[in-house]
Amino acid sequence: MKKFVNDPKQFVPQMLQGLALANPDTLTYVPDYNLIMRKDAPRDDKVSIVQGSGSGHEPAHVMTVGKGMLDGACPGDVFSAPPMDYVYETAKLLASPAGVLLLVNNYTGDRMAFEMASELAEADGLKVKTLFIDDDVAVQDSTYTVGRRGVAGNFFVMKAVGAASEEGADLDELLRIGQKVNSVTRTMGLALTPCTPPAKGSPLFELPEDEIEIGVGIHGEPGRRRGRLGTADEMLAEILEPVVKDLPFSSGDRVALMINGLGGTPISELYLLYGRAHQQLTDRGIEIGRSYVGEYCTSLDMAGASLTLVRVDDEIERLLAAPAEIGVRIF
């Protein structure tokens, strides 16, 4: 497998260094803790929003640092939780008088790192709260989690609490908003191919040419089952149906719909899937209020996609529509 890699152990630091060098006016890189933070953070007038998780899911989370989103992100190595001290030091560096909200995708390693860091930060007198995100409907438990996994739906939690933080909401209010968004967000993914971590140099798992992994995790964890490669409509139904049934979503609901690429799927195919999902949801009487198509939470170079639905109300929709300026310059 061909990759742009020097020393695999330096893959993440070199990626983060490049990210900061490309965006010097908006982002600061603290190499000791793999930390990417806003140039203007922390601010006394707002709660700081921090997320960690492993690397390999870009643009999550280091590329979603900016106004109206995250104030900082401290990733671990590829598909590995950040060390506890990375999270602890990040919380201290981003400590605001208003407090720090830690967002955590529900994986065992991430929970341990963030819970321990939160306890240390609180012992130092910092105002810290932790919110766990668990939107994946594919499996109840996996090798990496107790309970559901946190996947692409984390974007909606980041966006809502980031917007509310800019408006001056306090730490308790942000926790309420984040929990509310998480409670109405559901996701399921599907892989066409495995992914290849830089340190491994070979595919993480085997998937025959005529098979797909239904309910795959963003670290390549097994899903619900293997299925046959079918048409776009057939494969979309494999992830749409479980998501709709889980909450459940029903006729009359207004939703945000996301089709998220897992890293190796052309944008043209993602828009094809979006169009089919839009039609199938409309046929059920579900109204699409907001639309998201692209790569939000990837799995390195995995070909595949995930579908996320969020049941929105006036509060959630207003926060999702609020302006945001991520620190990564695209145009």
As annotated, the active-site residues are 57, 219
Give CA separation, 9 vs 5, 17, 235, in Å.
10, 14, 36
**Nearest to 261, CA basis, from 304, 217, 203:** 304
278 upstream amide cis, omega within 30 of 0: no
What is d(CA 209, CA 246) in angstroms, rounded to the nearest whole number? 30
**Nearest to 235, CA basis, from 193, 206, 192:** 192
What is d(CA 130, CA 123) in angstroms, rounded to the nearest whole number? 15
Largest CA distance in the chain: 56
Q: Cβ atoms within 10 A of the Cβ of 1, count? A: 11
What is d(CA 150, CA 244) in angstroms, rounded to the nearest whole number? 17
Q: At what angle do helices 314-321 and 154-166 cross, to 10 degrees?
A: 80
Q: What is the 3-state secondary structure (H, E, C) of 173-210?
A: HHHHHHHHHHHCEEEEEEECCCCCCCCCCCCCCCCCCC
CA 103 to chain CA centroid, nearest Å: 10
